[in-house]
Amino acid sequence: MNKFRNDFPLFKAIDEKNSVDNSGLVYLDTAATAQRPYIVLNAMTHFYATQNANPLRGLYSLSERATKAYEDARETVAKFINAPSAKEIIFTRNTSEGLNLIANTYGIAHVNAGDEIVISIMEHHSNILPWQYIRDTKGAVLKFMYVDKETGEIPESEYAKITPKTKIVSLTHVSNVLGTTNPIKKIAEIAHKNGAVMVVDGAQSTPHIKVDVQDLGADFFAMSGHKLCGPMGIGAVWGRLELLEAMPPFLRGGEMIEYVTEESATWAEVPHKFEAGTVSAGDAVGMAAAIRYIQSVGLDTITEHDNALAVRLIEGMKKIPHVNIIGNKDGTKRCGIVTFTVDGVHPHDIATLLSEENIAIRAGHHCAQPLGAYLGEPATARASLYFYNTEEEIDALLENVAKLRKWSGFSDR
């Protein structure tokens, strides 16, 4: 897998004044954002250099080429997650905006007082706050499914919280803290039997495992480009066409209308009804290039590599005194995400001390404060791995984690 590191300029970037040297960086924060390969950067540069025009409305060849590039990107996203139609792909800024779009359109229109929304305690804030808003606005009930603290998985007994009163079930596909892959297909079947729709947060799953929205039984699926080696500021929502067509628009303005009078307006067809204003065409092109790159590496290959590194890291951490792994101890069930604490060393200090050794990890609540409160761990350290990481980097992390207590003044013997 080491050959792929050469595709990423950041790992060898040295600026003209030699004030930045990333050649020795151990980057273990991909769950926050992935690095970008040359092919993505070049695709975006090519778009702005040769196709830069406002898509959709310009009746001249340059605008038509920009429109084609943008719509080709939509088609690439659709095929990547096996959406039935590219018309069902709505470009957003990120997963967070996508989940807000779903909540503020489908949720507002279909949830009423006394209805129930079911999520899990492991959700990212982006999949909690929109539903809290719908609860508070519509007088609904928000229910949490809890996880087993040892396995990091939702026990099947928790599925009983999905009832005929449930209108929406919204779950992360892969937890950004525990690395747990939720059984979306099974839960979607229960949701549908009770007349609810299934919303899936795919921010962490799409970079690591194959996603088939039809096989999952999802009704909506949200994802981000920057987790997939694409640019920041671009993401996508997939929704079943009949649901999208019946939903009101999220934002109103240019491009998303068919006709406007002084008194009223009619909306453009899906997906443009949900894409108000000038679209981020260059970023969409970059996201599509990232998807094609990920596909060239191979998601099966990525999954195998991520799991192997996670196993190596977890097994190594088990041998270090005072290190506590949060959640499942089986690296093959972590999607490359390993969260841990060290007795007596605050997670922020862990990240800072490792940074001095040129190792980048994440520390804090990871935008999942309810989960931290439930686990009794308000802050943790997180190493998140990807196909461009190596065994040598895992060993470097382990070597330095073993020194953290000594660096913090403890006299372990």
Report the distance separating Cα 313 and Cα 307, nearest Å. 10
The partner residues of 141 in beta bridges, in order of sequence, read: 116
pLDDT in tens, 347-363: 999 999 999 999 999 99
Residue 17: the pLDDT is 59
Q: Which conformational region is residue 123 in: left (phi greater than 0), alpha (psi within -120 to 50 degrees), or beta?
A: beta
The three-point CA angle 236-241-247 to 5° equals 85
pLDDT in tens, 175-217: 999 999 999 999 999 999 999 999 999 999 999 999 999 999 9
Examine the pLDDT at 225 and tell me if it is beyond 60. Answer: yes
Report the distance separating Cα 304 and Cα 251, nearest Å. 40
Q: Letter for the amino acid at 192?
A: H
Mean pLDDT of the region 363-374: 98
Orientation angle between helical segments 391-401 and 347-355, nearest 10 degrees: 120
pTM above 0.85, yes or no: yes
Examine the pLDDT at 13 and tell me if it is beyond 90. Answer: no
SS3 221: strand
Name residue, tokens 């934002």. Answer: 251
Give the contacts of 331 (CB within 8 A, at least 6 positions apart). Answer: 307, 308, 309, 310, 311, 312, 313, 314, 315, 338
SS3 7: helix
What is the residue-averaged pLDDT of the chain?
95
pLDDT in tens, 115-143: 999 999 999 999 999 999 999 999 999 99
Residue 14: the pLDDT is 62
Q: Are 268 and 258 in contact (CB under 8 A)?
A: yes
Give the contacts of 87 (CB within 8 A, at least 6 positions apart). Answer: 241, 269, 270, 271
Annotated active-site positions, please? 367
Report the distance separating Cα 365 and Cα 16, nearest Å. 37
DSSP classification of residue 105: I
CA dihedral over 396, 397, 402, 407, signed as positive or negative: positive
Phi and psi of 88, rounded to 5°? Answer: -90, 0
Count CB atoms within 10 A of the CB of residue 103: 25
Name residue, tokens 């949701």. Answer: 191
pLDDT band at 255 (very low <50, low <70, confident <90, very high): confident
Q: Letter for the amino acid at 356?
A: E
Least confident of 8-17, 144-153, 173-182, 248-257: 8-17
